[in-house]
Each structure stands twice: as C-alpha cells, then as structure tokens.
Amino acid sequence: ETGVTQSPTHLIKTRGQQVTLRCSSQSGHNTVSWYQQALGQGPQFIFQYYREEENGRGNFPPRFSGLQFPNYSSELNVNALELDDSALYLCASSPRGGEEKLFFGSGTQLSVL
Amino acid sequence: DQQVKQNSPSLSVQEGRISILNCDYTNSMFDYFLWYKKYPAEGPTFLISISSIKDKNEDGRFTVFLNKSAKHLSLHIVPSQPGDSAVYFCAACGGSNYKLTFGKGTLLTVNP
C-alpha cells in the first residue's frame, strides 16, 4: 500500500513568483487536504478536496488554490508569493467517512526569498 | 485566536516513566480530538483519538483522557521509550466540518 507522497521535497522561490506543489493520495483515499505549517506552529488548514471539488476552506487568500484529479491526486498552487508563505506544506489524504484520521505526506518545504 | 492550545513547548522524561502531554481547547463545537506524532523530516502520523462521548481511550502504551467540562485533554504514555521522542500535536474538529485545528505541539524527549 503506497502512502501519501509529495513533490518536490524542497523548493526555493522569490517573492512574486508562483509555485505548484503536488500530492499523490494513499491508495483507496478520495479526500485530500492541504495544511500549512509555519516554523514553531501547528499545521493550519488551507482547504480540502473531495471528488475533484473544494469541500471546505480555511482562512487563506484566493491566491492559494487547488485541484484534485480523477485519480485523487492533488495540486496546491500559490500565486504572488510572499515572504510569509515560507513554510512546510503538508498534504493529507483520508477515506471518505474517516476524514478526521488524516494520513500525511512528508511535506514540501517552501522558502520564499 | 488559538482554539487549541498546548502550553508546554517541551517536556523531558526518563525512559520507563510516564509522559503526560496536555492540551486545552476553547471551541465548544469540537467533538472529536486526535493526537499526532511528528518526527523530523516526516509528516505527522496519527496516534490516538477520542470522541466527546467518551472520557478515556486506550491503545497499548497510549491513553487519552478528555475532560469536557474543563475543555482539557491529555495524552499519557507509559512506559515512555526513547523512540517516543518527537513533537506531539493535539488536534480537534467538530460538527460537520472535518477540518482539523492543531495546537502548536509539544516536543517530548525521552532520555535513556
């Protein structure tokens, strides 16, 4: 059984650029959530996708957007990067009906200079 | 406004002793609580959970206690092992919203 995989593991961007982060969900899981973990903080909910549609969003501006594909993989896109976007971005998948027990990937460490 | 609070950034215990990690919450809508463990360079892994209809849940060396009136939960690890050294996150969700709200985490160090 393949777990949640994220790519890339590390990324360096400059302010104003755009970035796309990718996530493959665990086999059998059709719900994907994205979290941002800033240094010294707990993960903060960005949004969740179920059956290719956004199914809940946290307190993040519209420049944070996402997609879920028919194979349940997902992308997180961030436009007009700001220095405060520097963080660990975590993708988590779950089977419908068990959303609370999320299975996390190892994350993408994004640095914005 | 921090709805889930872990007031101890770190905790150090001796191998074989009990580790107690604490968590407080403010949102009365929360009805399901989870603990996650995170090693460096890895994502958080689910450890144990508890529904608000219970006040205790046990899984091997790990026990979670919930005090709804005090809006407080705790994770007990006994006996503690060096491999338990990690950051522990308390998380909560409630109603039909499956979004998890996390605390800032507590770094547990178990000394041999």
User: What are the tens digits of pLDDT across the range B14-44?
Assistant: 999 999 999 999 999 999 999 999 998 899 9
Chain B residue numbers with beta carbons less than 8 Å from the beta carbon of A107 are 43
Taking only the tens place, the pLDDT of each residue in A55-107 is: 889 999 999 999 999 988 999 999 999 999 999 999 999 887 656 788 999 99
**Contact residues for B40 (Cβ-Cβ < 8 A; gap 6+):** none
Is any Cβ of chain B less than 8 angstroms from the Cβ of A58?
Answer: yes
Alpha-carbon separation of residue A2 from A24, A28, A75 (angstroms) = 9, 10, 18
d(CA A21, CA A76): 5
Alpha-carbon separation of residue B84 from A23, B2, B18 (angstroms) = 28, 26, 11
Contact A42 B102 (CB under 8 A): yes
Which of B100, B101, B106, B107 has the highest number of chain A CBs within 10 A, making it the mutation to test binding with A?
Answer: B100
Is any Cβ of chain B less than 8 angstroms from the Cβ of A32?
Answer: no
- Positive or negative: CA dihedral A77, A50, A70, A11: positive
Contact A45 B45 (CB under 8 A): no
A·B CB contacts under 8 A:
55
- pLDDT at residue A1, rounded to an integer: 56
| Closest C-alpha among A80, A19, A89 to residue A47 | A89
A 10 A CB-CB count for B56 gives 10
